[in-house]
Amino acid sequence: MRQLSRHDAGFLYADTVHANANVTFVQIYDPSTAPGGAVRFKSILAHIQGRLHRSPIFRSKLLRVPFELDEPYWVEDEFFDLEYHVRHIALPKPGDWRQFCIQASRIHARALDLNRPLWEIYVIEGLDSITDLPPGSFALLTKIHHAAIDLDSRNELIELLHDTLPRPPRPAPAEPWFPEPAPGPLTLLTRAAWHRALSPLSLYAPLWRALPKAAAFARDLLHPQHLLTATRFHAVVSPHRVFDTRRFAVDEFESIRSLVPGASLQDAVLTVCAGGLRRYLELHDELPGSDLSADVSEPGAPNNATDPSPAPPATRRVPLGTTLADPVERLAFIHAHTSAHTAAAPTQATQAARQLPPPCCNLTVVSSPVQPVYLVGARMTYFSALLPIADGLGLTFAISRYDDRIVISPTSCRELMPDPQAFTQGVRDCFQDLLALARRDPSLAAGPAPAKARKATKTPRKTTAKGRRAAAGSTPPVIPAKAGIQ
């Protein structure tokens, strides 16, 4: 029995009917490297069965303390059913990328059963009309609650399910598993009383959890000028999710960052994401006159040579330069702020972040495999993630790097972003413009920004985290029958 930390339990307490803390990893595989050139569902099921003993995550469920007097515990699920957690589905024909994104969004949006281990895996076939994928490719959607996994450091679940060789050595037989009985309510209450006696301040934990919302309300009341930087993504989110993705070559991003001396690869990625956000808000005639900011989370570096475990993840607020039309100026602007944040003392960096407007999005660098990995012999060819969103923060970017590709994947809700393809096209257009400048080749440029949307689709800017839902945008563009991962 293990107790959740206050940090992990916070993801559970933040769950609402329309916004949960699910994280869904998206993996696509080429079966041609597997024995016989194909992978069957029963082989995947047997493979996962043989890995269950490697981590308590797989068979542990939540046990809440009566009256929520203490943080919940992880206990073993005596009725664990693998076939409930691993499911097999297929896209209807034609099986294109847009259908896949819709299916992934629906799976991601559904809440996990809190009475079972907090993970599910969906094996998805029928990806026949997605270009750039080898024949017979299949996908895995690995959905897990944020309370059960540290998204910003080692991605334990992905490591446990994959091998670095297409034909790894035969594993030893798994040890027999006998679940430990869960403690009763009296034991839990006794533990809670003991913890409260040792830490009296923990009695105020519910109040501390309410402080951020109280602070946001006070800010809205006392400083209404911050509403000038509000966008549709600062609104209340719906239960419906949308997701799309764009892939870029790492060496092309290296060319882009060379436009500004000293700029990092992350500065270039931030610039492209900011450019996509600017283009999308311009498309809907909603670009604020003042700058927007983002909360950027990245994995912690190893502590030292003797302790290779990662330090706690670093989160910082970064201005996005959305008021700058020139993408190179935006890259220089972002680099100046990120380098100043790195050079500043922690206290100074925190004070500087407080002076920025409320973030309009989260940008999370998702820990991904550093070398090609295999599932039952099938080589992983794509890796990304759908991330949680919340009221007042209705847009997240998952940034992953795998197989010499950088993948940028925005997640939002259907009411705030009814046309995710238009958003990711803006991201790609910004990337193309920067790449054309880096390579001095105007033919690579994406061209001028799209025309503004009709006035009927305009959403009021003055929207707070407790404000109105953003209105739906323009009609999504028609997608070709063979849409690919671009």
Residue pLDDT, tens place only, 367-401: 888 899 999 999 999 999 999 999 999 999 999 99
> Does some domain include residue 307?
yes
Give the whole-angstrom CA distance, residue 323 versus residue 339: 20
Per-residue confidence (pLDDT) for residue 184, from 0 to 100: 86
> Does some domain include residue 303?
yes
> Does some domain include residue 274?
yes
Per-residue confidence (pLDDT) for residue 215, from 0 to 100: 63
Per-residue confidence (pLDDT) for residue 180, from 0 to 100: 87
Q: What is the CATH number of the domain that holds 258?
A: 3.30.559.10
Going by pLDDT thresholds of 50, 70 and 90, the confidence category of residue 211 is low
- Beta-bridge partners for 131: 484
309: domain range? 220-371+389-457
Going by pLDDT thresholds of 50, 70 and 90, the confidence category of residue 354 is low
Q: Token match 């503004």: residue? A: 452
> Does some domain include residue 352?
yes
> Does some domain include residue 243?
yes
CB 244 within 8 A of CB 397: no
Residue pLDDT, tens place only, 214-233: 665 565 566 555 555 689 99
CB 474 within 8 A of CB 419: yes
Of residues 376, 375, 377, 400, the one with CA closest to residue 387: 400
Evaluate the omega torsion of the peptide bond into residue 94 and state whether it is cis, within 30 degrees of 0.
yes
Of residues 327, 321, 300, the one with CA closest to residue 312: 300
- Residue predicted with more confidence, 307 or 135: 135
Going by pLDDT thresholds of 50, 70 and 90, the confidence category of residue 406 is very high
Per-residue confidence (pLDDT) for residue 198, from 0 to 100: 73
The secondary structure of the chain, three-state, reads CEECCHHHHHHHHCCCCCCCCEEEEEEEEEHHHCHHHCCCHHHHHHHHHCCHHHCCCCCEEEECCHHHCCCCEEEECCCCCHHHHEEEEECCCCCCHHHHHHHHHHHHHCCCCCCCCCEEEEEEECCCCCECCCCCCEEEEEEEEHHHCCCCCCCHHHHHHCECCCCCCCCCCCCCCCCCCCCCHHHHHHHHHHHHHHCHHHHHHHHHHHHHHHHHHHHHHHCHHHHHHCCHHHCCCCCCEEECCEEEEHHHHHHHHCCCCCCCHHHHHHHHHHHHHHHHHHHCCCCCCCCCEEEEEECCCECCCCCCCECCCEEEEEECCCCCCCHHHHHHHHHHHHHHHHHCCHHHHHHHHHCCCCCCEEEEECCCCCCCCEECCEEEEEEEEECCCECCECCEEEEEEECCEEEEEEEEECCCCCCHHHHHHHHHHHHHHHHHHHCCCHHHCCCCCCCCCCHHHCCCCCCCCCCCCCCCCCCCCCCCCCCECC
Residue pLDDT, tens place only, 153-201: 557 888 899 999 998 778 777 778 888 888 888 888 888 788 777 776 5
Q: Is the pLDDT of residue 311 over 90?
A: no
CA dihedral angle for residue 13, residue 18, residue 22, residue 28, rounded to 10 degrees: 180
How many CB atoms sit inside 10 A of residue 326's CB? 12
Going by pLDDT thresholds of 50, 70 and 90, the confidence category of residue 363 is very high
> Does some domain include residue 230?
yes
- Beta-bridge partners for 63: 73
> Does some domain include residue 342?
yes
CB 150 within 8 A of CB 27: no
Mean pLDDT of the chain: 84
Distances (CA, A) of 47 to 34, 41, 172, 347, 384: 13, 10, 12, 48, 22
Interval 459-482 mean pLDDT: 38
| Burial class of residue 163 (count of CB atoms within 10 Å of its CB; 0-12, 13-18, 19+) | middle
Per-residue confidence (pLDDT) for residue 91, from 0 to 100: 96
Structural domains counted in the chain: 1
Q: Is the pLDDT of residue 469 over 50?
A: no
- Beta-bridge partners for 295: 317, 362
Per-residue confidence (pLDDT) for residue 351, from 0 to 100: 63
The lowest-confidence range among 74-78, 272-276, 310-314, 327-331 is 310-314
